[in-house]
Amino acid sequence: MNIILLGYGKMGKVLERVAISRGHTISHKIDLNNLHELAGIDPATVDAAIEFSSPESAVSNLTYCFEHHIPVVCGTTGWLHRKQEMERLCMQKSGAFFYASNYSLGVNIFFHLNRVLSNLMNRYTDYEVSMEEIHHTEKKDAPSGTALSLAKDIIDSMDRKQGWVNEHATEPSLLSIISLREAGVPGTHTIRYESKEDTIEIKHTAHSREGFALGAVVAAEWIQGKQGVFNMQDMMKF
């Protein structure tokens, strides 16, 4: 495939390396410094775009892809208040849009475990659930997109939780998410159920960005020839 990278920071460079290792070509690398080059790209020469930019750039990048009929895989977080708008535009343009808050295959298995466990723990009201997420100091949004996905599944599954706060919760109906930022941490997410008697904990620790990049490139391969809005559950068939 010929792939456009929309966003060429640390993650973009890992995406480039992984895509090339799988036999693909990076035809263009676009960031804020050369955004004007988008206008000169022939969409017919592009098979997919992978979008890992910033919350400020994601919507315009996605709009460009839909309007030029370029399948797009997006992993940018912090802009999801406009996600439904982008999904509608994708469908209007008969495009292909793959979004995930986290492309790690391991994290998506973790998402599945979280859904199973939260459904089970809905019955056991003596356990208080909380979450902690740790990321590198360069990460701009908090909680992380992965934490928000985990939180949504917990809230959807548990009758006693109605929302979340990014601090220690004082209301029993709110899920506590603690966000920590530490140098060099790709991403760690911990979900904890505590009672007076014991603690149940599930945890995912990323060791590098390679796993995120591999999942995104595999998604770009998978989306070829498709139309619609997709996510990791569609690809992994949970």
Q: What is the mean pLDDT of residues 60-83?
A: 95
Asked whether residue 230 falls in the same domain as residue 190, the answer is no
Average pLDDT over residues 58-81: 95
102 vs 25: which has the higher pLDDT: 25
Round to whole Å and give the CA distance between 116 and 139: 29
Q: For position 182, which CATH number holds?
A: 3.30.360.10
Residues with a catalytic annotation lie at 135, 139
Q: Are residues 58 and 144 in the same domain?
A: no
Task: Give the mean pLDDT of 137-147.
Answer: 88
Q: What Cα–Cα distance (Å) separates residue 203 from each residue in 4, 10, 54, 115, 147?
A: 33, 25, 27, 14, 12
Range of the domain at 222: 2-99+210-236
215 three-state secondary structure: helix
Count of the separate structural domains present in the chain: 2
DSSP string, 90-110: HHHTT-EEEE-S---HHHHHH
Phi–psi pair at 17, nearest 5 degrees: -60, -45
CA dihedral defined by 144, 145, 148, 152, rounded to 10 degrees? -170
pLDDT band at 209 (very low <50, low <70, confident <90, very high): confident
What Å distances lie between residue 176 and 89, 134, 147, 191, CA to CA?
34, 14, 11, 10
Q: What is the CATH number of the domain that holds 90?
A: 3.40.50.720
116 and 195 in a common domain: yes
Residues 216, 158 within the same domain = no
Q: Which pLDDT score is estimated for 102?
A: 85
Regarding whether 111 and 94 lie in a shared domain, the answer is no
Instruction: Let me know whether 60 and 152 are in one domain.
Output: no
Q: Is the pLDDT of residue 238 over 80?
A: no
Domain match, 63 and 122 both:
no
